[in-house]
Chains A and B, each alone.
Chain A
């Protein structure tokens, strides 16, 4: 094996010498033969003897070639030869090369980007030691991973499957380093969090389980590397310093390593605080609230040898214990495990489905590109049939010619793949540093790794083989004698060729892509104009956390009222009100069980429905633009001393009272047994996502149900953007320590629309790629057929054919293929678009605008693609043509 390789290498290195020697050897043979010939027949002169010797020998070139092959250098040497020849051929037709490389770069790039996202978001485990055995505990029935804190403690202490269970929650706080206060994203982590994740600190120490001694007992803070770097200028003396979080003193104990940013892939927290101190961050002590599932993540490493199924069974036995012991707080408790990085199945499932869909479409792009290039290659091989025939006639093996063609194909695919990979790496890196929501430390870390490079390379090579294989049959069937004799023959057959099938398939694929991007686009437009149960235009949202600003108890509602009154004085403002968590904005609204008045046992099983709870100020419905169907709005007299009232939405009224019309004046019960009278019924809206089923919602007067978080809805007569500065200065006037986030209402929906927007963008890009590919494909076929049939067209023209007939002859086939491919693609696209419904709100392909749009788009593509070939066909001058040939 090694010896063989060595011989081959030696042969390759001393190629020139060995070639010389071979020539010399054969020359000697020839001389001897000529000598013999003369010996037999002394009449022969020297030249004739030599000629006869050559005849007797046969093809010298062929013998040399076979000797080289026998010596084993053949493979490497021909590869080098083929590469040189291939490069020369590609250089000779730069436009062909450019088109092919660009097509491949786009197709491979698209695949690399989608795979890169899939790899980083779904396939790659969290970047912690032994991340693959780390699991998140989620509830089995709703696949939402949050638990209540007492439940977490039971899970932690009673399970036998995990090395340990850690928990964390996300909060926001104002961090005061002594100079100024900035809002920070806080991970409230259990004491064992860092130990269970098997992490080491970068500086100082992490807080541990032994630091926890009950509520607010561990005022320690761990900084992330990024925050330390940005706000403490890498000051190593920061350990031991005291900072203020929401005006409570905390001691900095350590800094985490640069690569660790919490256990949610897309969240970039600034600091970690022990979860037992959550009251100081969140404003209310939730450590004993068993019914409140506020702890976002419960996660840990499975013990060695414990399978996922065993762990789930173990957790479920704890679940049934919880059900039995605390029936007031639990309905049915079962558990499931999921990878933690995308917040369990809650985000992973849609992400995975979306990316899988994109993978499919990107794969189609690659297939279309291969079909396109296969077509180009077949046309090129046809153009080169003379060259091929000549080489065959000179004794080249067909295999050798095929190898040459494949080398060219692979050369192109490697160049295109490299270019595409380069582009996709740049794109992925740009995406990783992109902050889609300026006010939140959220990013999509999709930095590419070796897997991405590998996949791109494999895809490039595979597509090279795929489109390189198209002209194989053509070459194998080449008859050198015919072609050399007659010149290249164009058979104007009516038969359907491979190339027609390829182009038809390619157009169909592209039509699928164009259809899905139209469907997505239309869905997004609709979702922006849809009925959310409130008015989006001419409305601003100013968000402030009063707890963060140091307000508590009775100071909160008083401040809210002052803020609302201050906003009302701004010129141009028509209505102002507040809500704690505006529907379809960034946060998740509170949730509560609702019971009928007559229900005595307030257990989850007896609840009439679950409902979102919004705490609003008087005038909210008017300011938000939500229509009150019956009843009344709140007033400032609906305070603590007044009877408890609520405005409910249609869904809640239906679920509790049977209908929306007779609900006003009737009572229902909250979780804690409070009787609440319905003061009014408001129209149904969307609350957390555009695709949700109708959800129950109740609105409570803020004076009866106070909240620290406040979002002030400001409605203006005209463009509200001009008001932003005025709103900010009014807020500052009231309290200089407040750091409000001010957005238009539609900006505030960025979170909710993010998925739909990303989907639309991705599908739009893929659709554009598909359109581009079909243009190049049709253009290629049309211009090829025009150039091949120039003579025929010239004769037709000379015989008096009209331009219309001429175009029909030249382009009819391409246009027929376009029509056929488009209709197949349209039908397939409509079928495939059902998948989009889950992501894009109201994405329906059975929409005349979409159908008309796709048909129009494909027609336009056809027009663009055939324009130049048509011009060329019409510009044929029969006189010149006939004279030439």
Chain B
């Protein structure tokens, strides 16, 4: 049922979603994937295999930072949070996304 309505993520949108999810505060990788799924009401499913490489990539670029902390269950976990650069990047990308989706919507309506 939901299988058909779930969307594959566009290339590059995963980064945007991660940054957006992290705006709520520091969280570990599993929570990020859960949150994206939850906010999108299960429409967007994050491929778990590609989530971690994306997190590490963002960290390498300096948009998010990672620290070891303790999870709700008391287990050691790696928590990610936005950096200042990441916050700025999120704004830029969100704006770009808005422009893009508006443009696509217009095209679709016109055609």
The residues in B between 3 and 49 inclusive whose CB is less than 8 angstroms from any CB of A are: 28-30, 34, 47-49
Does A719 lie at the interface of the complex (its beta carbon under 8 Å from any beta carbon of B)? no
Does A734 lie at the interface of the complex (its beta carbon under 8 Å from any beta carbon of B)? no
Give 29 A-B contacts (CB < 8 Å), ordered by A residue: A7-B60, A21-B78, A24-B76, A25-B29, A25-B78, A28-B29, A28-B30, A28-B76, A28-B77, A29-B29, A29-B48, A29-B52, A31-B75, A33-B30, A33-B48, A56-B48, A57-B48, A58-B47, A58-B48, A58-B49, A59-B49, A62-B49, A63-B53, A66-B49, A66-B50, A66-B52, A70-B53, A70-B54, A71-B60
Nearest CB in chain B: distance from A321 CB, A? 78
Enumerate chain B residues within 8 angstroms of A63, measured Cβ to Cβ: 48-50, 52-53
Does A32 lie at the interface of the complex (its beta carbon under 8 Å from any beta carbon of B)? yes
In the complex, the answer to whether B49 meets A29 with C-beta atoms within 8 Å is no
A62 and B53 alpha carbons, distance in the complex (Å):
10
Q: Main SS of the interface on chain B?
A: helix
Nearest CB in chain B: distance from A394 CB, A? 14
Residue of B with least CB distance to A28: B77
Hey, what's the 0/1 contact readout for A39-82 against B, CB within 8 Å counting as 1? 00000000000000000111100110011011110000000000
Does B88 lie at the interface of the complex (its beta carbon under 8 Å from any beta carbon of A)? no
Q: Main SS of the interface on chain A?
A: helix
Does B99 lie at the interface of the complex (its beta carbon under 8 Å from any beta carbon of A)? no
Hey, what's the 0/1 contact readout for B57-77 against A, CB within 8 Å counting as 1? 101100000001001010111
In the complex, the answer to whether A69 meets B75 with C-beta atoms within 8 Å is no
Nearest CB in chain A: distance from B108 CB, A? 33
**How many chain B residues touch A (Cβ–Cβ < 8 Å)?**
22
Nearest CB in chain A: distance from B32 CB, A? 10
A62 and B48 alpha carbons, distance in the complex (Å):
11
A26 and B71 alpha carbons, distance in the complex (Å):
14
In the complex, the answer to whether A70 meets B71 with C-beta atoms within 8 Å is no
Task: Given A71-B60, A72-B60, answer yes or no on A28-B53 (Cβ-Cβ < 8 Å).
Answer: no
Residue of A with least CB distance to B45: A56
The 6 closest A-B pairs by CB, nearest first: A58-B49, A66-B53, A70-B57, A70-B56, A32-B30, A67-B56
Enumerate chain B residues within 8 angstroms of A29, measured Cβ to Cβ: 28-30, 48, 52
Taking Cβ atoms with an 8 Å cutoff, the residues of A that contact B are 7, 21-22, 24-26, 28-29, 31-33, 35-36, 56-59, 62-63, 66-67, 69-72
A207 and B45 alpha carbons, distance in the complex (Å):
93
Enumerate chain B residues within 8 angstroms of A24, measured Cβ to Cβ: 76, 78
Task: Given A24-B76, A25-B78, A70-B60, answer yes or no on A57-B30 (Cβ-Cβ < 8 Å).
Answer: no
A71 and B58 alpha carbons, distance in the complex (Å):
9
A25: which of B34, B52, B57 is its contact (CB, 8 Å)? Answer: B52
In the complex, the answer to whether A57 meets B49 with C-beta atoms within 8 Å is yes
A597 and B57 alpha carbons, distance in the complex (Å):
99
Q: A29-B30, A70-B60 are in contact. List 13 more A-B contacts (CB 8 A).
A: A21-B78, A25-B52, A25-B78, A26-B52, A28-B75, A57-B49, A59-B49, A63-B48, A63-B52, A63-B53, A66-B49, A67-B52, A67-B53
The residues in B between 76 and 104 inclusive whose CB is less than 8 angstroms from any CB of A are: 76-78
Task: Given A28-B71, A63-B49, answer yes or no on A71-B56 (Cβ-Cβ < 8 Å).
Answer: yes
Enumerate chain B residues within 8 angstroms of A72, measured Cβ to Cβ: 60
Enumerate chain B residues within 8 angstroms of A70, measured Cβ to Cβ: 53-54, 56-57, 60
Enumerate chain A residues within 8 angstroms of B49, measured Cβ to Cβ: 57-59, 62-63, 66
Residue of A with least CB distance to B57: A70
Nearest CB in chain B: distance from A37 CB, A? 12
Residue of B with least CB distance to A7: B60
Residue of A with least CB distance to B75: A28
A71 and B48 alpha carbons, distance in the complex (Å):
18
A33 and B46 alpha carbons, distance in the complex (Å):
13
Chain A CB within 10 Å — which of B29, B47, B52 has the most?
A: B52
Nearest CB in chain A: distance from B2 CB, A? 14
Enumerate chain B residues within 8 angstroms of A28, measured Cβ to Cβ: 28-30, 71, 75-78
Nearest CB in chain A: distance from B28 CB, A? 7
Residue of B with least CB distance to A58: B49
A24 and B77 alpha carbons, distance in the complex (Å):
8
Residue of B with least CB distance to A35: B73
A386 and B34 alpha carbons, distance in the complex (Å):
40
Chain B CB within 10 Å — which of A26, A28, A31 has the most?
A: A28
A28 and B71 alpha carbons, distance in the complex (Å):
10
A414 and B44 alpha carbons, distance in the complex (Å):
51
Enumerate chain B residues within 8 angstroms of A32, measured Cβ to Cβ: 30
Residue of A with least CB distance to B29: A29
Nearest CB in chain A: distance from B71 CB, A? 7
A36 and B34 alpha carbons, distance in the complex (Å):
10
Nearest CB in chain B: distance from A55 CB, A? 10
Enumerate chain A residues within 8 angstroms of B52, measured Cβ to Cβ: 22, 25-26, 29, 63, 66-67
Enumerate chain A residues within 8 angstroms of B73, measured Cβ to Cβ: 35
A755 and B92 alpha carbons, distance in the complex (Å):
75
Nearest CB in chain B: distance from A72 CB, A? 6
Enumerate chain A residues within 8 angstroms of B68, measured Cβ to Cβ: 21
Nearest CB in chain B: distance from A70 CB, A? 4
A365 and B8 alpha carbons, distance in the complex (Å):
55
Nearest CB in chain A: distance from B76 CB, A? 7
A62 and B49 alpha carbons, distance in the complex (Å):
8
Enumerate chain B residues within 8 angstroms of A67, measured Cβ to Cβ: 52-53, 56
A24 and B68 alpha carbons, distance in the complex (Å):
11
Enumerate chain A residues within 8 angstroms of B77, measured Cβ to Cβ: 25, 28
A7 and B73 alpha carbons, distance in the complex (Å):
32
A756 and B96 alpha carbons, distance in the complex (Å):
77
A69 and B53 alpha carbons, distance in the complex (Å):
8
Chain B CB within 10 Å — which of A7, A66, A69, A72 has the most?
A: A66
A69 and B54 alpha carbons, distance in the complex (Å):
11
Nearest CB in chain B: distance from A6 CB, A? 12
A25 and B55 alpha carbons, distance in the complex (Å):
12
Residue of B with least CB distance to A72: B60
A35 and B77 alpha carbons, distance in the complex (Å):
15
Nearest CB in chain B: distance from A34 CB, A? 11
Residue of A with least CB distance to B32: A29
Residue of B with least CB distance to A62: B49
Nearest CB in chain B: distance from A27 CB, A? 10
Nearest CB in chain B: distance from A30 CB, A? 9
Nearest CB in chain B: distance from A689 CB, A? 71
Enumerate chain A residues within 8 angstroms of B30, measured Cβ to Cβ: 28-29, 32-33
Nearest CB in chain B: distance from A4 CB, A? 9
A26 and B28 alpha carbons, distance in the complex (Å):
11
A59 and B73 alpha carbons, distance in the complex (Å):
26
A495 and B3 alpha carbons, distance in the complex (Å):
48
Enumerate chain B residues within 8 angstroms of A26, measured Cβ to Cβ: 52
Nearest CB in chain B: distance from A44 CB, A? 18
A7 and B52 alpha carbons, distance in the complex (Å):
18
Nearest CB in chain B: distance from A657 CB, A? 95
Nearest CB in chain B: distance from A3 CB, A? 9
A72 and B28 alpha carbons, distance in the complex (Å):
21
